[in-house]
Copies of this chain bind each other. A is one copy, B any other.
């Protein structure tokens, strides 16, 4: 009985130790960070509390570096000694590389930056920053605004219109609108426009004036010239790996009809299991143990995380180049095609000189897209993840179906493109032959919705092995074919009117 009692007491001790662990011995704050907190704790209590909940507030780089390689959350081989023995606080991040930061400024005796950029985060997380720089997402700003076709689309969508002689005339570009629409996800170009002084509760203070700020878009151009924002996914000051691993993070930008990844995931088998059982999952463990930490994958599982078996055998390496395991760029522009070779698409041109990696009939432009061997390699990496739970036959057939769906949706986009070309040819709308914006007329929008919404939706439903209705009645094949009828009827109707109507 005495033995049992002592065992119980020990168990109780362990239990309470585990419970109170998070409030255990606290690591040291730098004196600079202590100063930051002195004011900001009162000014922005939510922000500070959020950081206090982060791992950054509770651990030091020195402690992070000594972990076993597979469990390590920092990837830089060495971290500056001066940073190693304090927790990662306000000053530690906001004071990095101030000379390269156009947004640096004097603040209560310290030189700090408004924005912490991926190059700053690279201090401790260099491998992730490097991988992310090869991720097409980090180039999302330039890939959008430097592409003449996309510029036409954003103008047609975002700019105002005014009527002149009963025709709609496209108005000017409007920066604030750009920031809220396309660039909310793609990222803005943050530029310093001088300094401004204002009264604060701590007296008069001077701050940089930033154009394009706030923004956490994935391809943000930072005032140090770097690209991207780690906070797109590791949001705000909690820098949570749990958040980045949950699909809600991805849903911020991948829910719209153009890339309905989250909507599809939600009604896929994977999404159902996640939604039903995620309360039992551990989203914080590194490495992430398949089966033990979770049973259904989230976006991060298949596209980013370091995955191991319960025996710590590596299933997939961590990657922040999220197309590492992706053979295809599903998102059609206007056709789905093998992933671009380069994340920066500024030099991509097809044989007509259009900034597209495909010809207008859907043929990929060979030099701009990865070849079959690379596609096979990427598929192989992805199938290793699938194999955690699925037989070879299962996943092989899955990818066969996906390939078929890509081909079929491209086919129907091709038919639609031919109809639109006839419409342009007949001068029933003004597009490529007329050198006009190809997104600002009703018939052009019918064509656009076919590939931008319905073909994409259908392909995402296929890629996630489910999401049935997003391939059928919810922006799927039903809507594809309906728009195809409308587009073809538009041409036939305009032609028949022209033939039948008396010339004035």
Does A472 reach chain B (CB closer than 8 Å)? yes
Nearest-Cβ distance from residue A116 to partner chain B, whole angstroms: 14
Cα-based distance from A45 to B160 in the complex (angstroms):
55
Most chain B C-beta atoms within 10 Å of own C-beta, residue among A252, A445, A474, A495: A252
The reply to whether A468 and B13 contact each other, CB–CB distance below 8 Å, is no
A386 to chain B, nearest CB (A): 10
Q: Is A148 in contact with chain B by the CB < 8 A criterion?
A: no
| Pairwise interchain contact B46-A472, C-beta atoms closer than 8 A | no
A378 on the B face (CB < 8 A): no
Residues of B within 8 A of A492 (CB): 166-167
User: Out of B9, B46, B242, which one reaches A290, CB within 8 Å?
Assistant: B46
Cα distance A207–B412 in the bound complex, in angstroms: 36
Task: Output the nearest chain B residue to A274 by Cβ-Cβ distance.
Answer: B248
Residues 221-262 of chain A, each 1 if its beta carbon lies under 8 Å from chain B, else 0? 000000000000001101010110010110111011110001
- Within 82-113 of A, Cβ neighbours of B (below 8 Å) are at none
The answer to whether the Cβ of A322 comes within 8 Å of any Cβ in the partner chain is no
Chain A positions near chain B (C-beta within 8 angstroms): 5, 8-9, 11-13, 16, 42-50, 52-53, 156-158, 160-163, 166-168, 174, 176-177, 179-182, 184-185, 198, 200, 207, 209-210, 213-214, 216, 235-236, 238, 240, 242-243, 246, 248-249, 251-253, 255-258, 262, 266-269, 271-273, 275-277, 279-280, 290-292, 295, 309-311, 387-394, 397-398, 400-401, 404-405, 408, 411-412, 415, 418-419, 422, 440-442, 445, 452-453, 461-462, 465-466, 468-469, 471-474, 476-478, 481-482, 484-486, 488-489, 491-492, 495, 499-502, 504
